[in-house]
Amino acid sequence: MASVWDTRSLHFGLLFGILLGFFAIANGLKLWPMPKSVNYGSKTLYWSTNMQLRKDGSNYADSSGILKDAFERMVNLIEADHIIEAKFANSSVLAGVNVVVHSPDDTLNFGIDESYTLNVPAKGSPLYAQIEANTIFGALHALETFSQLCYFNFTSKVVELHAAPWTIYDLPRFPYRGLLIDTSRHYLPVPVIKSVIDSMTYSKLNVLHWHIVDDQSFPIEIPSYPKLWDGAYSYTERYTINDAIDIVKYAERKGVNVLAEIDVPGHTLSWGVGYSSLWPSKSCREPLDVSNEFSFKVIDGILSDFSKVFKFKFVHLGGDEVNTSCWTTTPRIKQWLNNHHMNESDGYRYFVLRAQQIALSHGYDIINWEETFNNFGDKLSPRTVVHNWLGGGVAQKVVADGLRCIVSNQDKWYLDHLDATWEGFYTNEPLTNITNPAQQKLVLGGEVCMWGEHIDTSDIQQTIWPRAAAAAERLWTQFDKLAKNPTDVISRLAHFRCLLNQRGVQAAPLIGSGREVPSDPGSCYKQ
């Protein structure tokens, strides 16, 4: 009984904090993630029934329609299918948005300038919000921020923008702000993946890490080795190569890079369904056969095909949780190791390093899970990014050795850990104990991981959100603007969670563990 009351007290305290904070920001900042610099006034502007996009002074021609499509999406999100009835005859009508982009290029390169300035004047005729950015992708972030300033008035039936004039300057703290999805443990249809990409943009996440294949299934078409997707769960639970191209293009138009992962040499049981010679033996089926040249030819074929689809600077080669016992219990592989003066640990290192060389030959930088660094970090390519997941202190060691790092420590940033709270997601600091400025720059950012053992279309979004948004602010917002106590952002995060719901994203309540359901009837803002 005592534990029940302790839980109720905790929930009551959280609810009280949400209510207090919500009323405190009723006329203030509700933006998520928090920008670097914000100034605002007290005047209310009214949304025109015919909002216009202008590009006066811009060097960006928008021949691909990225800006036009983003503006139309923003208008639809703000109006939220409400019927806008009112007509105005005063000077407080916001006629549209003028977007000035300095670069004519819309190639989404890693580390691209994502900064922007957003000004919403309180006076003018006609009255236009002003966005200025060095790249189109900074402008996309500005449009998202602008959308969070606008609200539908249910009494007057108009969209209003409160607290003008606004002056916002913003840029990300880290260039890599990722979310992993796993389509091997459960297949995710293409529209579901696209909906995840849409939701990422609302909190300015910019890398979709696609863990495509694993032991359980190999759902993607590889033209160079067409039998690989015989390892899919079923005939329909597959992605054609054109599906992958479509997903990448869809994401890039929204400022999201797609990081493809093939996890080698472990996590590869499904590969042998189509090509059984990749298995050490029919009774011992992973890791991939280190003694067989065909293993490396298949990796080369996959990465050759990937290089035509996945244009991101990096490819993820996994390298984690490799149980090499099949190599030593299979006589011909054990003999091969002996002939090459290797033990099984040497074979593991040989495989990872050779896979790295193949990736480098296709123009990729490599990301590997941290076991590779923990076992033979001094042998890794200098173009390696070490992906920390097991625990603390690893990033500190990685950057001290001059390698780059991404942080995803499982105790804080694994979304499938339903006991990992949003508060933990918010307070997890990628630069813990890293004080040297040069080493800090080697931490590219972080990633929240939505592993798919218990995730499919039915529950993926409510397991991701709103906890991923808490990490998103940690990765975007400048350190001095982050709340020192997560209770200080409860109301703002609750507001963002409700905004996600209004946009059709099934974000779960803040109260309780991950993927929690509402405890009682009530307002979204109180959950």
Q: Is 321 a catalytic residue?
A: yes
Alpha-carbon separation of residue 332 from 277, 293, 346 (angstroms): 13, 14, 16
User: Which alpha helices (DSSP H) does 217-370 contain, by range?
Assistant: 241-252, 271-274, 293-307, 325-329, 331-339, 344-361
Please provide the DSSP assignment of 250-288 as one string: HHHTTT-EEEEE---SSS-TTHHHH-GGGSSBTTB--S-
- In single-letter form, the type of residue at position 157 comes to K
- In whole angstroms, give the CA distance from residue 407 to residue 432: 11
User: Beta partners for 385?
Assistant: 367, 404
Both structure tokens of 404: 């780059």
Q: Which of 293, 260, 258, 259 is nearest to 275 (CA)?
A: 293
The sign one gets for the Cα dihedral 110, 372, 325, 340 is positive
Cβ atoms of 367 and 406 within 8 Å: the answer is: yes
Report helix, strand or coil for 53: strand
Beta 43-54 vs 158-164: how paired, if at all?
antiparallel
Rounded (10°) angle between helices 66-79 and 136-147: 10
Both structure tokens of 468: 């991923």
**Residue 171: how many other CB atoms lie within 10 Å:** 18
- In whole angstroms, give the CA distance from residue 511 to residue 74: 29
* Residue that has been written with the tokens 């409510």 in this structure: 462
Kindly name the residue from 79, 293, 321, 429 that is annotated as catalytic: 321
Active-site positions read 321
